[in-house]
Amino acid sequence: MAAPVLETENLVKIYGRGETRFDALKGINLEIGKGESVAVVGKSGSGKSTLMHLLALLDGPTHGVVALEGRPTGDLSAKELNELRNSAFGFVFQQFFLTPNQSVLENVTLPLKIAGVPAAERKRRGLEVLEQLEMADKADNKATDLSGGQKQRVVIARALINDPSVIFADEPTGNLDSATSNVVEDILFGLNRDKGITLVVVTHDEDLARRCSRQVYLVDGQIVPSLEKAPGDAAPREEDRHPWAQQPSDATGPVRVAGPATGEVITLSQADAAAIARAAQEPARPGRHAAPAPSTPDQPGATA
């Protein structure tokens, strides 16, 4: 593996406290090498979005360290973090986040505008990157007048314009049909291959994940060796279409189980229970015990 561009050490993220306490990440150790393409795969509530936010320095961890190119980022000021994000990272979101009523060029050059680059240079670099993505003829169009695939290309152009070392893509193809998805994936992996830009893709799309050089599977805030797909789970569930809907859904009520070690009754969310059920169905792997000790829920509905 090449020298790590991003490293984490025992990364813990806890939301809320007391009754509402939710442990999103429970000690993540991860290294992402320069030029790697890494897929972070997990269900809603697995903590994959939280992990991406911490890696992208959008949020700070409760405990642990995120290091960028060997430098810990914990003691950086808000201003330094802003500048780092602006210069080192590119973002591609499922929801595009294009500003309506602004031209494609204006949308693409937003990171440069924030960085304080003069207007003339912004335009030059904006057209250059649009050219690269075969979108130069749409530079003066309103961003809202484009098709989904074109919008995502504009978003990729925006992510590319500051020459980032890492591009974070959060469900980049979640809003696209499969043909357009393939085109967008080709572009992203082409950039990874040709320009050596590190790619961190957060997705629950197994096909997209397989195209990455490495997959990181998250279950319940911890890295697990792999996810065994439960039968009938091929199509993403509705709640998984929204990557931010990661809080466990309590729609069908929590699942109460007996703790394996102590025998005390603990409450699991439905999603947790489902993940545990899946983990329980695969053979145990030596040396890794990231998932909680498999315990079959005593409620049959939990596997749904």
Site residues, another protein (CB under 8 A): 53, 56, 58-59, 78-79, 82-87, 91, 93, 95, 97, 99, 101-102, 110-111, 113-116, 118-119, 244
Q: Closer CB to another protein, residue 56 or residue 209?
A: 56
- Shortest reach from residue 103's CB to another protein, in Å: 11
- Shortest reach from residue 136's CB to another protein, in Å: 22
Residues 218 and 21 sit within 8 Å (Cβ to Cβ): no
Residue that has been written with the tokens 């090449």 in this structure = 2
List the one residue out of 168, 159, 165 whose CA is nearest residue 53: 168
Residues 230 and 5 sit within 8 Å (Cβ to Cβ): no
Q: Closer CB to another protein, residue 91 or residue 217?
A: 91
Q: Closer CB to another protein, residue 12 or residue 115?
A: 115
- Shortest reach from residue 299's CB to another protein, in Å: 31
Q: Closer CB to another protein, residue 113 or residue 124?
A: 113
Q: Closer CB to another protein, residue 2 or residue 119?
A: 119
Q: What Rg value do the Cα atoms of the chain yield, rounded?
A: 20
Q: What is the residue type of 270?
A: Q
CA atoms lying within 13 Å on the CB side of residue 271: 20
Residue that has been written with the tokens 């699991």 in this structure = 268
- Shortest reach from residue 246's CB to another protein, in Å: 10
Q: Closer CB to another protein, residue 87 or residue 226?
A: 87
Q: Closer CB to another protein, residue 82 or residue 303?
A: 82
Q: Which DSSP state fits 125?
A: H
**CA gap 286, 252 in Å, rounded:** 34
**CA gap 244, 220 in Å, rounded:** 15
- Shortest reach from residue 156's CB to another protein, in Å: 14
Residues 6+ apart with CB under 8 A from 245: 44, 239
- Shortest reach from residue 86's CB to another protein, in Å: 3
Give Cα 264 to chain centroid, integer Å.
35
Residues 113 and 122 sit within 8 Å (Cβ to Cβ): yes
- Shortest reach from residue 200's CB to another protein, in Å: 14
If one counts every other C-beta atom within 10 angstroms of the C-beta of residue 176, the result is 20
